[in-house]
Structure 1
Amino acid sequence: MARIFSANRIFIKLLLGFWLCSSLIIALVALLPLLQQNYDRAPLPAKLEQVLARSAKQLQDNAAAHPEKLLRWQGHRHGGNKHMRLFLTDEEGRLLNGRRNSRTMRHFMLMAEEAGHPISHQFRDDLMFGPYQFAINGNHYALWGRLPARHPRPWFLFLADNIMLTLGLAIALSGLICALLAWHLGKPLRQLKQSADALANGELGCRVNEQTCRRGDEIGQLANAFNAMADAIEQTMHSQQRLISDVSHELRTPLTRLQLALALARKQGLEGKELSRIGYEAEQLELLISELLELSRVKNRDLDKMKVYELAETLSQVLDDAEFEAEQQHKQLTIILPEDLCLPHHPRSLSRAIENLLRNAIRYADSHIRLSAVQQGKHINIVIEDDGPGIDASELEAIFRPFYRPHTARERESGGWGLGLAITQAAVTAHRGTISAANRPQGGLMIRISLPC
């Protein structure tokens, strides 16, 4: 039960995150009226109270000598400030020195009545204060003051007066908190996706970083499980490659004995159709074993030992041989390869990969083959095209699998084992590159290789 409610669970993190976010926003919005109420009921400052007291004393003194002056009293320029205005009301709240109460005055009088004691309040353009209670001839009066001034108002009053702005800020704040939560959960998931993509592209040594693995929630558990899976896959693939290499080496011993026995039989004058067939199959088996060993060697290349070479220099012999082969078959080979293209690579494995592609293109082309290379950003793209029959669209991805041969005549007539393109893909993957095949709109096959430089 304790594990179900562990704070490291994603469910608990999501629940607490959204709950705290909504609670914080609700609390902030709910506090605005309370803050405004406390500000509205601010005590009357002593200086303003003294102004009201002096004015009330003058009224009392003047009314005692001249009672008729009380009704003519206007309340202008009192308290030493020419902009200050004082208002006199009777015990029923009627204004005695003006025609009628303004809306601001009525609002302030209600606030003071609710507070039950003299207060001051800053409106948008006026500072209102009062009341100061006093009596003249047994009648009760109250003095109120207004001081026009644009004093800075507290931020919470600005928010309280602008409901839409407050709502927008609340939405923005909640969005920020949710974005932080989403980033906290999304960052390790992106790292998991990148590691999975790298593993799918053949980088068997790629793992999720330690920081993600140390997380105590389900994402950390998933990262550890992914690394364990990647370790198992890498071990299985290496075991498979070692098995292919070991079996190929072991097959060469009886094959060598068989070829030696055939040579001795022919030396003794033994000839025949069956013996010739055995010799042919032995040669094919020797070629197959060589292809398997090459595939194993390419997959086990050490990427750290790659050096930077010029691509044209690496492929010079391969391109010369391809031009000769195309010329013998009365086909045209066009090569567009700048001399300044350089990238880190293994010359032998990359040359073998390009050689396999060129031989296939020359074999199946009707009349023209084209090889071009160009640098785009941090990658070098190599494209090999021919004008042959092409391949069925459903088999374009499968042709790079070992021992796969398309159902079209493009491979069935060759008598191959389907290892040439597998060796090419293994070499490209060992160089952290990508390879893809596509049919040209005008007919023929196009192979695209992208290698980091």
Structure 2
Amino acid sequence: MRGMLRHLVPARVERAGIRTGLRWKLSAAIALVGALVAIVLSLVVHNAARVSMLDNARDLADERLRIAQRNYELSGRLNFPNIRIDDQELPSELRFKVEKGRRATFVSDHGGGAPDIWAAVPLKDGHVLSLHTGFTDRSTDILNDLDQALVIGSIAVVLGGSALGVLIGGQLSRRLRKAAAAANQVAKGETDVRVRDAIGGVVRDETDDLASAVDAMADALQQRLEAERRVTADIAHELRTPVTGLLTAAELLPPGRPTELVMDRAKAMRTLVEDVLEVARLDGASERAELQDILLGEFVTRRVAAKDPEVEVRVVHESMVTTDPRRLERVLLNLLTNAGRHGKPPIQVTVEGRVIRVRDHGPGFPRDLLAEGPSRFRTGSSDRAGRGHGLGLTIAAGQARVLGARLTFRNVRPAGAPEHRPSEGAVAVLWLPEHAPTNTGSYPMLP
């Protein structure tokens, strides 16, 4: 299940370039939209206020012109400020309207300064009475205050939108991070973890739908893998009886080369059946280590000498460890067997504290094994020319997991050597835990 879920729910997604969080993306989006809306509204309000003030100024100028016209026609005198007769500076647009006998107003905008307000009316004697005033300082101050308020309001909208985006995005980001962490736990084999329970929360949204879908997928995969494991275990268990009978019958054959060939194949089949059963038990996560204290260097030296006296063992630093000796021996012997079958001598074993290294001088591990780890029915030979059915490293990795240890694989290359250059050997490293692996459900062995 771990291998399949690792492809569906990666433990770490790496992307090229800059990685930004969801909260900052939402904050930037809301701030951008808020800034655009604030700018548009500010321009609309500014223009509307300016047009309204200009209209008021034009109405006021027209009203003053009416009073000035009435006084002029009654008294013949100009008793109003800024009133002139036949003003030479009268704008041509306004003069054109007045020549048609219309009373009109006009705004002359200079671009950078305050606009000029004009009002003109034709008199009965053929002259033109006009009023010329500027945009009042009070109106200019009001417009400037309005612009300042709009700027402050726009900044407040942008900052408030950013804060709201960080708040909403942060909440959604936290839920997604919890979901990702729970999915990673499922991918590592913790089948009792549920993504929906991990994210929590009262409000249901699309994140809950995603979590429920991941949980359903994990349950379906777990059921399928469990069914396949049971079928494999049942088949291997059923094969034990006929294989044992075949081996017993082969021992009754008369001595000779044919009998040796039959015995060799029968033993190989029995080993394969036993390995398949062991893999099925390890996949079922029901195995528990029986712990006891051992001197690691002494233990490894004795076991390797019993397996192959020609293998060199070097104890750099002796250490007392708490582990399961039977399972540790299984891991060590499988690594030695793999090195002997697919590597080249000399084979060297190094013990340094809680770390055991097994090195050979062969062509090295294949790339698939280095990238994905051991896989059943795939040998450790890069050219697949080695002997064996490819369950040794899978069993070693499974037993290491029961011990709470970490098993890694790498190839030995000279510093700076190109990738196409053949390896100078393969190294399998077993990292035993510092403390007893109680999190795997193990228990101390009774004396």
SS of 1:391 mapped into structure 2: coil
Q: SS of the residue aligned with 2:315?
A: strand
Q: Alpha-carbon deviation of 1:404?
A: 0.9
Q: After TM superposition, list the pairs within 5 Å mapping 1:355-434 onto structure 2.
A: 355-361=333-339, 364-373=343-352, 383-397=357-371, 400-405=374-379, 408=382, 412-413=385-386, 415-430=387-402, 434=406
1:15–1:400 CA distance, 2 compared to 1 (3 A): closer
Deviation of 1:289 after TM superposition, in Å, equals: 1.4
Quick one: which amino acid aligns to residue 207 of structure 1?
R
How far, CA to CA, are the matches of 2:259 and 2:355 in structure 1?
Answer: 48
Of 315, 321, 324, 1:335 maps to: 315
Partner of 1:252: 240
> 1: CA distance between counterparts of 2:36 and 2:290?
59
Secondary structure of the 1:396 match is helix
For this pair of structures, how many residues does the alignment match? 315
Contact 1:335 1:371 in 2 (8 A): yes
Find the aligned partners of 1:278 and 1:346 in 2 and give their Cα distance: 36
Aligned: 1:354 with 2:332? yes
Structure 2: 5+ residue runs without aligned partners? 1-24, 50-79, 82-135, 415-423, 435-447
Of the candidates 261, 265, 273, which is equivalent to residue 289 of structure 1? 273
Is the aligned partner of 1:446 residue 2:427?
yes
Q: Aligned partner of 1:424: which letter?
A: A
Residue 8 of structure 1 is matched in structure 2 by none
Q: Does 1:189 align with 2:176?
A: yes
CA shift in 2, pair 1:428/1:332, >3 Å: closer
Q: Distance in 2 between matches of 1:17 and 1:231?
A: 38
Please give the alpha-carbon distance, in whole angstroms, between the structure 2 residues aligned to 1:198 and 1:255.
40
- Amino acid corresponding to residue 266 of structure 2 in structure 1: A
Residue 304 of structure 2 corresponds to: 322
How high is the sequence identity, in percent, across the aligned residues? 22
Task: Go from structure 1 to structure 2 and tell me whether the alpha carbon gap of 1:229 and 1:114 turns closer, same or farther (over 3 Å shift).
Answer: closer
Q: Which amino acid aligns with 2:350?
A: L
**Closer, same or farther in 2 for the Cα pair 1:177/1:323, shift >3 Å?**
farther
Deviation at 1:290, TM superposition (A): 1.6
TM-score under structure 1 length normalisation: 0.55
Q: Do the aligned partners of residues 245 and 171 (structure 1) sit closer, same or farther apart at CA in structure 2, a change above 3 Å counting?
A: same
Question: Which stretch shifts more, 218-227 or 442-451?
Answer: 442-451
1:233 paired with 2:221, answer: yes
Moved more, 400-409 or 359-368: 359-368
1:293 Cα offset (Å): 1.9
1:275 maps to 2:259: yes
Q: Distance in 1 between matches of 2:206 and 2:149?
A: 46
Query: Aligned AA for 1:412?
Result: A
Comparing 438-447 with 271-280, greater Cα deviation is found at 271-280
Greater CA deviation, 167-176 or 226-235? 167-176
Gap runs ≥5 in structure 1: 1-13, 38-90, 93-108, 116-156, 375-379
* Offset, 1:191: 2.8
Residue of 194, 215, 231 corresponding to 1:207: 194
Query: For the structure 1 residues 28 and 341, does the alpha-carbon distance in structure 2 shift closer, same or farther, using more than 3 Å as the test?
Result: farther
Change in Cα spacing, 1:349 to 1:19, as seen in structure 2 (3 Å) is same
**CA distance change for structure 1 residues 293 and 391 in 2, over 3 Å: closer, same or farther?**
same
Cα 1:278–1:16, aligned 2, differ >3 Å: closer, same or farther? same
- With over 3 angstroms needed to count, the CA separation of the structure-2 counterparts of 1:176 and 1:351, relative to structure 1, is farther
Contact 2:185 2:193 in 1 (8 A): yes
Counterpart CA distance in 1 for 2:27 and 2:366 is 54
Contact 1:425 / 1:435 at 8 angstroms: preserved in 2? yes
SS at match of 1:438: strand
Residues 107-139 of structure 1: CA distance to partner in whole angstroms, max 9, x if unpaired?
xx9439999xxxxxxxxxxxxxxxxxxxxxxxx
Residue type at the aligned position of 2:304? A
Q: What is the one-letter code of the residue matched to 1:428?
A: A
Quick one: distance in 2 between partners of 1:399 and 1:113? 77
Task: Give the structure 1 partner of residue 138 of structure 2.
Answer: 111
SS in 1 for 2:195: coil
Alpha-carbon distance between aligned partners in 2 of 1:307 and 1:17, rounded to the nearest angstrom: 56
For the residues of structure 2 that align with 1:169 and 1:350, how far apart are their CA atoms? 66
Task: For residue 175 of structure 1, report the CA deviation from its aligned partner.
Answer: 2.9
Distance of 1:27 and 1:352 partners within structure 2 = 71
Any idea what SS the aligned residue of 1:197 has? helix
State whether structure 2 residue 149 is matched by structure 1 residue 175. Answer: no
Structure of higher RCO (CA pairs closer than 8 Å, 6+ residues apart): 2
> Kindly tell me: are residues 389 and 299 of structure 1, through their superposed partners in 2, closer, same or farther at Cα, counting changes over 3 Å?
same
Cα offset, 1:368, TM superposition: 4.8
TM-score, normalised with respect to structure 2 = 0.56
